[in-house]
Structure 1
Amino acid sequence: MATYTERQAGSRLADFIGDHAQVLSIALFFALCLLFFGAMTTTFLTSGNLLNVVRQAAPILIVAVAMTLVITTAGIDLSVGSMVALINALAAIVMASGLDWTLTLPLMLVAGALIGGIQGWFIAYQGIPAFIVTLAGLSILRGFALYLTEGYSIPIRDAAGFFWLGRGEVLGFPVPALIAILIAVLGFVVMLRTQYGRQVIAVGSNMEAARRVGMPAKRVLASVYVVSGVASAVAGMLIAARLGSGSSNAAQGFELQVIAAVVLGGTSLMGGKASMLGTVLGTMTIAVIGNGLILMHISPFFTQIVTGTIILVAIWMNTRLFDRPWRFGRRKPA
């Protein structure tokens, strides 16, 4: 006859570490990066450079928040860099034609939502894998941007309010960073406090089970690509506002940085598990590494090697280290 024993629980500290191992690991890695680059260069930890880091990280963070939703559904959006470039170029072309920037902003948001919605329709309702759809989008959207600009940068003039979005400051803090923080907080609230966030996690865990219990699974799946399109539009306009021009060559390799930030933060590529706090830390880690390598006079192309390595290591840690139950210390009766 089988003998059953009462389940034993570890200490509260051990359980906390086990439940939050991924976020704690990226937080530790982020802190080590700050210390390393601070020790290697004299300018890294200056207020001016740190503000520059958060300003440059803002577009990545904005899209990474949306990408967290996408990857939580076990999907992927490889087209975000091309979409940023297309919106970047479109915004410059539209404003150069005479349309006021206050009308250009909502128009570009609608364009981003429409592009994301089309991709989401193919993925959710036509059953085409997200990798294939967004890989096609990566080529198509960048091609449209090149066609519209003919490879040239389109200057933006007489749009002081628009430039403020990319270059301005509020109490000494960059406006793009403030916008990114607000979007990150919104993403955090959506994932933890709303029915929609729970539906996104359920769809990523088991889409068929979510459908069987009455969730609009296909609609939820399509909607995350709409969110990704809107976030890419915001990022594209912030880049245009900072540089004062639109270019089809903008955001080269952008999707790699965004995906690296999300998976480094602990969101599982297998779906059903997300961490917005991890995404923020992952984004800042990627930005700090890029900035620190430049200040150390290391080739900026080396950043791509580091980013790719981070993705590989993060996925390995997700699948081999953090998906198993961890217990530390002595066990005590529950």
Structure 2
Amino acid sequence: MVAYTERQAGSKLADFIGDHAQVLSIATFFALCVLFFGVLTPTFLNMGNLLNIVRQAAPIMVVAVAMTLVITTGGIDLSVGSMVALINATAAVLMAMGLPWPLAIVLMLIMGAVIGGIQGWFIAYQGIPAFIVTLAGLSILRGAALYLTEGYSIPIRDADGFFWLGRGEIFGLPVPALIAILIAIAGFVVMLRTQYGRQVIAVGSNMEAARRVGMPALKVLASVYMVAGIACGVAAILIAARLGSGSSNAAQGFELQVIAAVVLGGTSLLGGKASMFGTVLGTMTIAVIGNGLILLHISPFFTQIVTGTIILIAIWMNTRLFERNWRFGKRKKA
């Protein structure tokens, strides 16, 4: 007869760290970045600068929340920067032609949903890889924005209510930041408390299994790209309202920042695992690094090098450490 012994209970602290290693790691990295720049430049921790960071991070956070859904399904959207630019430029052109800004906002959100829905249809129902579809979208949408504006910036005038969305404050907090926080909370609730969130995770874990148990797997897959399109519409509006203009050159490199924020936050590129709170921390980390480098009078182009490095390290940690059931301390013995 074989004698079985009960596995000794591990340390609760070790279990907690092991189960939340990704979020804890990005939280620690974020705190270290704040401390680093706070020590090196006295203006970094000024309230005005901190509010400026959250205001500038708002568009990235809005799209990163939607990108979390996309990546959770095992996909990716490389077109978000170009989509933001096209919607941003279109909104400016329409308002310059006299269209009321509330109507322009509604039309831009619909435009984002349509563009995202078209890409999602190609990916879900035509079986074309998301990388190819959205890479094509990156080129097409940026080209359309350039054609629409002929490379010029389109000013927006006499739209104080519209400008308030990008420049206003409520109780001392920037309106764009409050909008981004509300969207992040909505994303958190969707992922943890709704059937749709569970379906997104199921599709990313095993799409065929999700389909066989009766889930509308293809619809769910297509829908996350529509959600990303709507998020791009919100981001484009926030950028246009803050800058007071629309431009085909808006959101250059935006997709890299968004993807970096999501993977840095711990969402698995293999699909089936998401961390909305980690996405928020990842977004703020990217924003802090960009702002801190500028305050240190380092070339803004260096930010692209840092962003690329962060993506590489995050992917390495994602696939080599966390995806292999990494645990703090020794592995538990069965």
Distance in 2, Cα, partners of 1:59 & 1:308 = 19
Q: Is the 8 A contact 1:92 1:154 kept in 2?
A: yes
Alignment correspondent of 1:250: 250
Alignment correspondent of 1:274: 274
Distance in 2, Cα, partners of 1:327 & 1:223 = 35
Alignment correspondent of 1:93: 93
Alignment correspondent of 2:325: 325
Distance 1:292-1:212 versus aligned 2 partners, 3 A rule? same
Distance in 2, Cα, partners of 1:141 & 1:61 = 21
Aligned positions, number: 334
Structure 1, residues 81-102: CA drift from partner, whole Å, max 9, x if none? 0000000000001111111001
Structure 1, residues 34-67: CA drift from partner, whole Å, max 9, x if none? 0000000010000000000000000000000000
Runs (5+) with no aligned partner, structure 1: none
**Residue 324 of structure 1: CA displacement?**
2.6
Alignment correspondent of 1:176: 176
Structure 1, residues 276-319: CA drift from partner, whole Å, max 9, x if none? 00000000000000000000000000000000000000000011
Distance in 2, Cα, partners of 1:243 & 1:327 = 46
Q: Is the 8 A contact 1:10 1:330 kept in 2?
A: no
Distance in 2, Cα, partners of 1:318 & 1:122 = 28
Alignment correspondent of 1:134: 134
Distance 1:101-1:9 versus aligned 2 partners, 3 A rule? same
**Residue 181 of structure 1: CA displacement?**
0.2
Superposed counterparts of 1:75-114, under 5 Å: 75-114=75-114
Distance in 2, Cα, partners of 1:63 & 1:217 = 22
Distance in 1, Cα, partners of 2:5 & 2:244 = 68
- The residue type paired with residue 48 of structure 1 is G
Alignment correspondent of 1:263: 263
Q: Is the 8 A contact 1:72 1:204 kept in 2?
A: yes
Alignment correspondent of 1:312: 312
Alignment correspondent of 1:199: 199
- The residue type paired with residue 80 of structure 1 is V
Distance 1:159-1:77 versus aligned 2 partners, 3 A rule? same
Q: CA RMSD in A?
A: 1.6
Distance 1:330-1:302 versus aligned 2 partners, 3 A rule? closer
**Residue 329 of structure 1: CA displacement?**
6.2
- The residue type paired with residue 149 of structure 1 is T
Q: Is the 8 A contact 1:8 1:331 kept in 2?
A: no
Distance in 2, Cα, partners of 1:300 & 1:234 = 25
Distance in 1, Cα, partners of 2:332 & 2:256 = 45
Q: Is the 8 A contact 1:91 1:246 kept in 2?
A: yes
Structure 1, residues 19-44: CA drift from partner, whole Å, max 9, x if none? 00000000000000000000000100
Alignment correspondent of 1:21: 21
- The residue type paired with residue 158 of structure 2 is D
- The residue type paired with residue 181 of structure 2 is I
Alignment correspondent of 1:122: 122
Distance in 2, Cα, partners of 1:111 & 1:329 = 50
Alignment correspondent of 1:228: 228
Alignment correspondent of 1:64: 64
Distance in 2, Cα, partners of 1:330 & 1:259 = 32
Distance 1:328-1:93 versus aligned 2 partners, 3 A rule? closer
Task: Determine helix, strand or coil for the equivalent of 1:279.
Answer: helix
Task: Determine helix, strand or coil for the equivalent of 1:280.
Answer: helix
Task: Determine helix, strand or coil for the equivalent of 1:43.
Answer: coil
Q: Is the 8 A contact 1:80 1:232 kept in 2?
A: yes
Structure 1, residues 174-220: CA drift from partner, whole Å, max 9, x if none? 00000000000000000000000000000000000000010000000
What is the TM-score when the length of structure 2 is the normalising length? 0.97
Q: Is the 8 A contact 1:10 1:328 kept in 2?
A: no
- The residue type paired with residue 98 of structure 1 is G
Distance in 1, Cα, partners of 2:102 & 2:329 = 59
Identity rate of aligned residues, in percent? 85
**Residue 323 of structure 1: CA displacement?**
1.8
Distance in 1, Cα, partners of 2:32 & 2:155 = 40
Question: Is residue 2:76 matched to residue 1:55?
Answer: no
Distance in 2, Cα, partners of 1:300 & 1:330 = 42
Distance in 2, Cα, partners of 1:166 & 1:327 = 43
Distance in 1, Cα, partners of 2:133 & 2:232 = 17
Q: Is the 8 A contact 1:124 1:222 kept in 2?
A: yes
Q: Is the 8 A contact 1:9 1:331 kept in 2?
A: no
What is the TM-score when the length of structure 1 is the normalising length? 0.97
Runs (5+) with no aligned partner, structure 2: none
